[in-house]
Chains A and B, each alone.
Chain A
Amino acid sequence: MTSEILKVREQFGAHLIGRDVGKRIREQYFSGPPATWPRVLDLTGVDQATESCADELFGTLARRAGLGPVRSIELTGCEPAVREAIEYVLALVEKPPPSPNRAAIERLLGRRGRRIVPKG
């Protein structure tokens, strides 16, 4: 059964901290296809959302269903800090930061010029 409006604070609190809470929201309300998702996410009274929580909810949904359906969820009562966290993870889905290749990792570790000894 899908509700049109999900009041986040009532069920999940004012501080969306950690991956678990993002996962709970996703599994409880977004486990089906986008047509069954809540149309509105009411974030009134939610003061804070960490990247990991936002990624677990919005990032995972965007990777699964695409950015379009996620962007079409209406966010109401959204504090700037919460909106920024959501936008941040969606931007990472849209344009993922480059994963460091082996050479970049070696530079990062200051190993340039040193031979890497495989384990074993």
Chain B
Amino acid sequence: MPTVRPPTTLRFGSTAALLAALPSREERGREQIMLQMGSLRWIEALPLAILASYVNDHARQNRRQYRSAGRVTLPDRYEFLQRMDFFKAIGLEMSERFARHEPTGRFVPVREVGVSREVQVAAADIVDTLRVDDQEAANVLRHCIGEVIDNVFVHANSPTNATICAQHFPNARRTQVGIVDTGIGFRASFASSPVYSEMALSDREAMMLGLAPYVTSKPLATDMYDSGYGRLGVGLFIVSAVLDQVGGRIQIASQTALFQQKRWSTVRPWQGAIIGFEVPDEPLVSYEEALRVARQRAIEIARSRDLE
């Protein structure tokens, strides 16, 4: 039985360590998996979304409910996991004898967004649930959540849809959001494009293109939106640039590539894409200003690219 032993402490920056503990689809095959969470002491929104997405991917690949797809050992105190709907998200029935988050708590339990029609509602709900006081921070969060989930439906073809989790950290005065899919990932998305199919992109190169303005793996129309036209290829660049402006941070992982703290590293492969971001309670600049700068930067980069 393939065993998953996540690190005891799982923070925003623990993605590489968490991925190292997750056997790939090929490695785990159709067997039940053992999720050993007995030593878990701390887990944040992004790693929760990753774990839920992982377990659901295994279950759906094998057309099983979790109770037959895997087993789990729990830490002494697992109320937090219950409150964050982790067990519900992976289809595991647990006693409901636990205290829900206080109304003053600011958590968005793990959930799946299943269709593109839900993007607008999900983005608004998450920000409402988190009760983000600062309107600028709320706008940044809604924008980033909306654009990232939108990308899952345009590009990912994910069997687990988009798994989302969010939480506010009062001491750090930041909100963390995790949006995870188990779809085709950046490299396969670009490889399916006639423009990039012959370039034999690496995972890192595909992600670099995904982060570059006006570069898209969908330059032509897809049936999904039937708009007759391609995508702009600027959404993820603007999300990243806005977060940079407001004092937030972004993390992206797909297959073997991880972009974190503006650095690249190689990780154990994740089938799909992991996007996490944090937004400060008081953004350094207004949402409008951050957007203006991001859009201007996108155009400047595109034009300078042309001039080189």
Contact = CB atoms under 8 A, between A and B. Distances in A.
Interface of A: 13, 15-21, 23, 47-48, 50-53, 55-56, 59-60, 63-64, 80-81, 84-85, 88-89, 92, 97-100, 104-105, 107-109, 111, 116-119
Contacts of B146: 15, 17-18, 50, 52-53
6 closest A-B pairs (Cβ-Cβ)? A17-B146, A18-B119, A97-B302, A98-B306, A20-B116, A97-B214
Contacts of B120: 13, 15-18, 20-21
B232 A84 contact: no
Nearest to A17: B146
B238 interface: yes
Nearest to A16: B120
Contact of B305 (A16, A60, A108): A108
Given A50-B146, A99-B214, 16 more contacts: A15-B124, A18-B119, A50-B143, A52-B147, A56-B227, A63-B229, A84-B291, A84-B292, A85-B291, A97-B213, A97-B302, A98-B303, A104-B305, A104-B306, A104-B308, A119-B198
Contacts of B117: 20
Contacts of A59: 229, 232
B205 interface: yes
Nearest to B139: A48
B171 to A, nearest CB: 28
A15 B142 contact: yes
Interface string B264-308: 000000000000000000000001100110010011001101101
Given A15-B142, A81-B287, A108 B228 contact: no
B23 interface: no
Interface string B211-238: 0111100010000011111011011001
B199 interface: yes
Contact of A92 (B191, B196, B209, B232): B232
A69 B197 CA distance: 37
Interface in B72-102: none
Nearest to B224: A19
B55 interface: no
B208 A48 contact: no
B154 interface: yes
B288 A81 contact: yes
Given A18-B150, A51-B238, A98 B302 contact: yes
Contact of B197 (A48, A63, A119): A119
B72 to A, nearest CB: 34
7 contacts: A17-B142, A17-B147, A20-B116, A52-B232, A97-B213, A97-B303, A108-B215
A17 B291 CA distance: 14
Given A19-B116, A19-B225, A117-B200, A52 B150 contact: yes
Given A64-B228, A100-B214, A119-B197, A15 B305 contact: no
B288 A108 contact: no
A45 to B, nearest CB: 14
A118 B200 contact: yes
Nearest to A98: B306
Given A16-B120, A105-B199, A117-B200, A52 B235 contact: yes
Given A15-B124, A119-B200, A23 B219 contact: no
B59 interface: no
Among the interface residues A47, A92, A97, which one has the most CB atoms of the partner chain B within 10 A? Answer: A97
